[in-house]
Amino acid sequence: MFGHLDHPAGVSPGAREMAEVVRRAYAIRLRRRVGTVAACVIVVAGIAGFFAGRSPSEHISTTETGYQFNALRGPLGIGTPVPATALVNVVFADEHDGFALAAHRGGAVLATTADGGETWHVQNGSLPAGYGQSDGYPGQFEFEGAHGYLWGGAPETDGGAPLWVTSDGGISWHAAPIGPVVYDVSAIGTNVWALAGACDVKPPGGEPVVPCALTMEQSLDAGASWHPVGSTGFADVMGATPAAQGVELARITTSRSYVLTASAPDLSGAIALSYTGDGGATWQARPVPCLGAFDLGAEIAASGTDDLWLLCGSQASAGDQSKELYRSADGGMTWTRTASATGLGTPPPPASQPNALPLAGYIAPYSIGHKNLAVASPTTAWLYPFRTAMFKTVTGGRSWTAVPGLDTAGFGSGGPGNVTFISATQGWICQYGVGLWHTDDGVHWSPLGV
């Protein structure tokens, strides 16, 4: 989540340009002046009829709601404003430039920002199929400059779930010649790794789904060409397992990386962790401490090669899930249980060791690891379980507290979203229907686009 984790590049947050402040102030005054007239028009015409009658070329402001954004008929042209409440997944290249998947009429569009997330505009209104609300918001993506990678969409009718690559900032996309199933991707500059499987997710004729062997593919030219990386011995995954939840690639540098695989729920216990320190030429197995009721799913994060954080998830119900957090300071050779949340299908914690993790909210296998765990250092991390508030630790995971303000703002209401950081202090969190918030000190959060 922090790119080159062992060699992080410092980011110095800067003040917003005065011109942008003046422009926004003028826009607010203008909206206030015409507010009375606009209200009369809406009363006469009706909200639904007013927006439904708009043509595709008409735009709305970035402060409108996701409901009003959905009223615009597509395909949406480049430059169409996108409200922050429509965002479901965001990534940032630096403190100014970011990309987002935004929900629109059951599908998804790619949006961009050049002012740190204050305003967003459509970059591509015709993304490949499989990334919208009707597909369960499954997608993941990553950008390095103008080069981008989109994967994890709902399987196509022929059984494929490909990797899509762009070299023009997301305006156009082409399918990478790997797969047909791509489970996870990581780019460091033009050096890109992709975990792929050669079996179909939906085999023809309704035959039973069989285990699918993983291969690591590498591109040294930002996705233009690909070749296998060394010899791998990863644990098989099930072809029917949702691509985003079953596999996680935690890449530290161009030579050091971890791969976590978790089989389908009917193969509980088959969670494996592999490590390479030589660019994928060789891989070594690492032990995984997720046992018993906590072997249903796992997700991993790191602040460097040796500092690993591992979350183990159990069965979930009614918004709650028992969880365990393990820490390793030696690259996964040994693990220490640091915190837990028990009581749902697991023994309640002893009075002397109350739950430090929140019992509310979902992690693996119901959520994507990249989207809800951000680790800044061996002491500081943020956890954003699906369907609950965001939590922070400054004690290496031994204690967690809800981030003030975000829960009262509506985060945790159940909509899709993610948390992402580009440094130990600069981060963003979004949730569909709630909006986008930002911190530049790792402590205080403020809304954007309102």
Summarised one tens digit per residue, pLDDT across range 51-94 is: 333 433 344 445 556 678 989 988 899 999 999 999 999 999 99
Q: Name which of 354, 374, 367 is nearest 319 in CA terms.
A: 367
Determine the pLDDT at residue 103. Answer: 94
Q: Is residue 198 part of a domain?
A: no
Calculate the average pLDDT of the chain.
82
Q: Is residue 301 part of a domain?
A: yes
Angle of CA points 94, 97, 99, to nearest 5°:
110
Determine the pLDDT at residue 66. Answer: 66
Q: Is residue 438 part of a domain?
A: no
Least confidently predicted of 32-41, 83-92, 249-258, 430-439: 32-41
Determine the pLDDT at residue 212. Answer: 73
| Stated pTM of the model | 0.83
Q: Name which of 279, 282, 321 is nearest 299 in CA terms.
A: 321
DSSP state of 379: S
Spatial distance between the Cα atoms of 141 and 266, rounded to a whole number of angstroms: 28
> pLDDT tens, 219-270?
999 999 999 987 777 766 655 444 556 789 999 999 999 999 876 544 445 7
Determine the pLDDT at residue 29. Answer: 40
Q: Is 23 helix (H, G, I), strand (E, B) or coil?
A: helix
Q: Is residue 229 part of a domain?
A: no
DSSP state of 273: E
Q: How confident is the model at residue 377 (pLDDT cuts 50, 70, 90)?
A: very high
Residue 317 burial by CB count (10 A; 0-12/13-18/19+): exposed, middle or buried? exposed
Q: Is residue 375 part of a domain?
A: yes
Determine the pLDDT at residue 6. Answer: 55
Spatial distance between the Cα atoms of 427 and 450, rounded to a whole number of angstroms: 18
Q: Is residue 328 part of a domain?
A: yes
Determine the pLDDT at residue 30. Answer: 39
Residue 372 burial by CB count (10 A; 0-12/13-18/19+): exposed, middle or buried? buried
Residue 349 has pLDDT above 90, yes or no: no
Q: Is residue 221 part of a domain?
A: no
pLDDT cut 90: percent of the chain above it: 58
Q: Cis peptide before 378, with omega less than 30 degrees from 0?
A: no
Domain encompassing residue 388: 288-415
Number of domains the chain is built from: 1
Averaged over 414-442, what is the pLDDT? 94
Q: Is residue 267 part of a domain?
A: no
Determine the pLDDT at residue 391. Answer: 96
Spatial distance between the Cα atoms of 448 and 119, rounded to a whole number of angstroms: 8
